[in-house]
Chains A and B, each alone.
Chain A
């Protein structure tokens, strides 16, 4: 190279390197960013459709009640009546399809209850809370059936 830039070859090369890297980046961006990204906002709209193709984990309350209507009956009128079955027993779609394929989770009858009912100043005062001494180490289910705690132990 001649002319005034003949001593600037290294600077031209480093500039070319930067431009090259930027072009590679543009290609990578074109290849990697999903086509519909940003159509309605900062997300990929087809993610919704993609999610519907995933296998279901939760069966839903109606499926539980089909077989376990006695439990549903026992919960009526209780503060726990509106809690979803699978909130405590875990996702059970496979169990609903074939009861032998998956066993429902049986939560720990003390630690699990404290997840919601341990005394905490941040909880509303009207929400039932217990301190560490309340059950003297006994499982909560000794006195409170988990499906309807107000009605005493589970029959």
Chain B
């Protein structure tokens, strides 16, 4: 143990507990995968549940999910080192390792769900772009057509049906993707802060909340950048669904809390003390008050009071930003909080966040910016805007399916 770590230790700790092994990068990983799953669920509202109002965000939500999914494994690889070995988990799969099996969940979601759905939805556009563009871009789109430029009504109808089927498969897959992240924590029976069968459900609903908030913000930001008016019906609907998801998330988290408090097992006093002291700011203030109560209050207010469009836009932006901060705090409190207390329940340590370190704040900020850079490239390559072609996307055009 690094003797320098001792001043941050209080009470009794076992020797391996003074230093945290899972850093801010491990906080980022569930945060990023949560955004992916949530963005996909929002997209599925348009596709499967026929919520027509959210159609303007359908493609944007899918591209956001892809951008964040591409970055999601990077914090893990930076944390573990040796990214060149990551592929070995597919070559020699370790079937009894929950973490190793996540590689397959990730691959399934990336290849069989997200890429396929995006490809099917964009196929008509891709074929049209392959005809219109010149040079290298033309070749790029041509390659993506897989050599088939059939965009007749029968072929598009097939695309629509296949896309709808993939979305139907995609919803449980998105549940699996983020439920699995919760399972990885929830199944660690040695850690009472994590070990609860409710963990996958808590993670899942917080993921849906964060993904919806992300797409709402990205939609508002991209509309502002493009100088286009925001579709208020769309925004109001997303705001409403964000509120619904939040209420379920709140109920599940309260259930978890009630269960812990009533059960009050041998770890409870120690964890309760931690929440009241070391985690007070990040858990009570940021996660619960600012990240949950305030956005729920704002979103509820918008439902109850008749407000101007401008006011609603502002309130949605504030609520969504607070939601993202709150869900990030939730991931932080789970990952970091779970390592701050001793398994003896008699001591606590402190997490020292470095700035310029492989697992420090600097790389975490870069990793958080990277999905937006990827999204920018994706948006340039595959413009998701409604005016590009109303008829291009069968979902956005509101075709019966």
Q: How far is the CA of A29 from the CA of B366 in the complex (A)?
A: 34
Contact of A10 among B9, B11, B17, B145 (CB under 8 A): B145
**In the complex, chain B residues whose CB is within 8 Å of the CB of A42:** 92, 94
Question: CB-nearest residue of chain A relative to B111?
Answer: A18
The reply to whether B3 and A14 contact each other, CB–CB distance below 8 Å, is: no
Q: Give a binary string over A16-48; 1 marks a CB under 8 Å from any B CB, 0 the rest.
A: 011000000100110011000110001000000
Question: CB-nearest residue of chain A relative to B157?
Answer: A7
The reply to whether B148 and A10 contact each other, CB–CB distance below 8 Å, is: yes
**In the complex, chain B residues whose CB is within 8 Å of the CB of A125:** none
Interface of A is mostly: helix
Contact of A13 among B94, B147, B159 (CB under 8 A): B147
The reply to whether B13 and A122 contact each other, CB–CB distance below 8 Å, is: yes
Residue B221, interface by CB 8 Å: no
Report the minimal beta-carbon distance from B95 to chain A, rounded to whole angstroms: 9
Q: Give a binary string over B147-170; 1 marks a CB under 8 Å from any A CB, 0 the rest.
A: 110101011001100100000000
Q: Count contacts on B: residues with CB < 8 A to the other chain.
A: 31
Count of CB-CB pairs between chains A and B under 8 Å: 57
The reply to whether A9 and B150 contact each other, CB–CB distance below 8 Å, is: yes
The reply to whether A120 and B155 contact each other, CB–CB distance below 8 Å, is: no
Q: Count contacts on A: residues with CB < 8 A to the other chain.
A: 24
Residue B12, interface by CB 8 Å: yes
Contact of B150 among A7, A33, A114 (CB under 8 A): A7
The reply to whether B15 and A8 contact each other, CB–CB distance below 8 Å, is: no
The reply to whether A14 and B92 contact each other, CB–CB distance below 8 Å, is: no
**In the complex, chain A residues whose CB is within 8 Å of the CB of B15:** 120, 122-123
Q: Give a binary string over B57-98; 1 marks a CB under 8 Å from any A CB, 0 the rest.
A: 000000000000000000000000000000000111010000
Chain A interfacial positions (CB closer than 8 Å to B): 7-11, 13-14, 17-18, 25, 28-29, 32-33, 37-38, 42, 114-115, 118, 120-123
Chain B interfacial positions (CB closer than 8 Å to A): 1, 3, 6, 9, 11-15, 17-18, 90-92, 94, 111, 116, 119, 123, 145-148, 150, 152, 154-155, 158-159, 162, 347
CB pairs A–B below 8 angstroms (16 shown)? A7-B150, A9-B150, A10-B155, A10-B159, A11-B158, A11-B162, A13-B147, A14-B146, A25-B90, A29-B90, A32-B91, A42-B92, A121-B11, A122-B13, A122-B17, A123-B15
